[in-house]
Structure 1
């Protein structure tokens, strides 16, 4: 039963690492970005509301995000553990998640902060925009998203550091190396992959 949260700036490699870690630890990866993009693609009401925020590089409002995450965490595959990617992003969302987990008499086991150089992030996301045709990865939007991250999400690092659940990992380098850094950091806190259990 492993409950993890990945945080870090856009383009730090959270999505890639989330998939790898979810597989290694036998838990579902829950990405707000993927959920929003799926809703946008399928033209749902939530998707229409979210699209304007996403295209501008702004975070989707807490009210929409909280409802979506509560619903997702209540599903059967997440009751024995999960990996959150992209939520919470704000202190208010931390409180919402705390309340939800407390109602289930549980808490996060670890919070992995993936760090990355800003110019490296801009370059990565520019490449991804070309490869995937994503409207939310122009340089102007990326730099705005990084500013929003610094203002709203970076304070979460302090919160989780005070709770002594933070594992800080350098996200620059080979994907396998970054995965190894994360699993080593988690192992140092007694959290091992499914196969090691």
Structure 2
């Protein structure tokens, strides 16, 4: 049974690696973005709430995200393991996740940080060619990551549950390193 939390800045390859590894291990890749889109598409009560924030261009509040993640971790396919991608985003979400996992009687194996130098992230993010990705927005996203999400590295490191992977390599090499983490 494998349960991993993926950390790393935008452009580090979290989504790609989480999906590849989840497929290899036959466990769900739980991305908060996917959960939100699916809840909105299904017009669930939580989805309707989330949609009202997103339509205003606001971040979905922590409590709502936590409820969505909680629902997702209770689904039968998540009982044999999961990879969380894009959550927790900050230390208060991480503390909540700890409590939630205790309630669900689940323990995660590691928080895996995909480490990639800023200049590589910049070129990856600008190279994706998303219409909203210009140098200024990319720098802003990295800054938000540094302020809000990077403290999670310390949070998990203090709990001896952090593994750092060099994300500045080929997709295959990073996947191999992740498989070694899972096997350890």
Q: Give TM class, smaller chain.
A: 0.7 to 0.9
Does residue 47 of the first structure (1) align with residue 43 of the second (2)?
A: no
What TM-score comes out, normalization by structure 1 length? Answer: 0.82
Distance (Å, rounded) in 1 between the aligned partners of 2:126 and 2:36: 20
Give the Å deviation of 1:158: 1.0
Match of 1:149 in 2: 145
Give the Å deviation of 1:37: 4.6
Match of 1:127 in 2: 127
Q: How many residues align?
A: 179
CA contact (8 A) 1:6 1:84 kept: yes
Give the Å deviation of 1:14: 0.3
Match of 1:95 in 2: 95
Distance (Å, rounded) in 2 between the aligned partners of 1:24 and 1:31: 17
CA contact (8 A) 2:2 2:182 kept: no
- Structure 1: where are the runs of 5+ without partners? 54-58, 191-197
Match of 2:160 in 1: 164
SS at match of 1:156: helix
Give the Å deviation of 1:47: 2.8
Give the Å deviation of 1:38: 5.0
CA contact (8 A) 1:7 1:114 kept: yes
Aligned mate of 1:140, from 122, 136, 143 = 136
CA contact (8 A) 1:40 1:48 kept: no
Give the Å deviation of 1:41: 7.4
What TM-score comes out, normalization by structure 2 length? Answer: 0.87
1:10-89 equivalent positions in 2, closer than 5 A:
10-37=10-37, 45=48, 46-51=50-55, 52-53=57-58, 59-89=59-89
Match of 1:184 in 2: 180
